[in-house]
Copies of this chain bind each other. A is one copy, B any other.
């Protein structure tokens, strides 16, 4: 560089070195203070977090009923987007259990963009979930939208879900941090990985360490699929955190035709599991029918994943 040639006087270089040293130390001090100097939402020093690999090197295994999520396990979570009826849920639960699913999912409180969309069956749906849980020995996971719902769901379900739109609902994260129950934390559709880890840290730092992260697609300029599934996030998250990371290809793609290839890619990229939506008659689903697999498609998915597991 041309500038180098001009640095001839040795005292100047000395002064420079000393100055760099002082400035460097000052900057380090500034950076080590709590996040006051950072704009919220922009940069989080996630290396200092309890959820960081730097704090705990070995993989966290989250136990949900008889299933272990994380480490070398590959976990399959399946079920309808929303619980619609006892019959719909029972049929789906039986099928996914027979094909080898480990957990049953099903929404009863639905976060819907419009107030006029189907908002879920609520307590009635919870009953159906609990019946399926008993009948098919499948641990159940469902979403809580508010602190009050956490306590309603707590004694009945095996795992609580925090949805994408609530990833930075800090009052909800606080509440979930205070209970003893595994939690499935979905990435906000426009959250950076730093923010995702910071949301997990809210829960972890309150005492609840049973957290499973879930990549479910981010919002980008591309509209060919509903969202853009960010599979690069999987190896990055596995480097940065000891928590398990799974993938939801149903919400990401918004289209059942692309769920199987993306689920296979999720396994290949190193995810600890996959969560997919399954419905006995997707065309009649109350919500997200376009992205729900029918029974044959789910069977095919399991066969494809089992082939890949052979060579993992």
Contact = CB atoms under 8 A, between A and B. Distances in A.
A236 B258 contact: yes
A55 interface: no
A145 B172 CA distance: 10
B265 A37 contact: no
Chain A interface: which size bin? 35 or more
Contacts of A44: 113-114
Interface in A234-279: 234-236, 239-240, 252-255, 257-258, 261-262, 264-270
A195 interface: yes
Interface string A184-211: 0000111011110010011001000000
B42 A111 contact: no
A233 interface: yes
Interface string A109-128: 01111111110000000000
Contacts of A267: 268
A250 to B, nearest CB: 10
Interface in A28-43: 28, 30-31, 33-42
Nearest to A1: B2
A111 B202 CA distance: 12
A258 B220 CA distance: 21
Contacts of A231: 229, 231, 262, 265
Contacts of A229: 231-232
A226 B42 contact: yes
Query: Which of A45, A113, A240, A290 gathers most chain B CB within 10 Å?
Result: A113
Contacts of A220: 218, 220-221, 228, 230
A64 B269 CA distance: 29
Nearest to A206: B115
A222 B202 contact: no
Contacts of A254: 39, 42
* 10 closest Cβ pairs, A-B complex: A190-B190, A146-B171, A268-B268, A265-B269, A165-B168, A265-B265, A35-B117, A264-B268, A307-B311, A220-B220
Given A38-B117, A41-B113, A149-B171, 17 more contacts: A3-B7, A6-B7, A16-B22, A35-B118, A39-B226, A40-B287, A112-B170, A113-B168, A113-B194, A147-B148, A166-B169, A169-B169, A192-B224, A193-B222, A221-B221, A231-B265, A236-B258
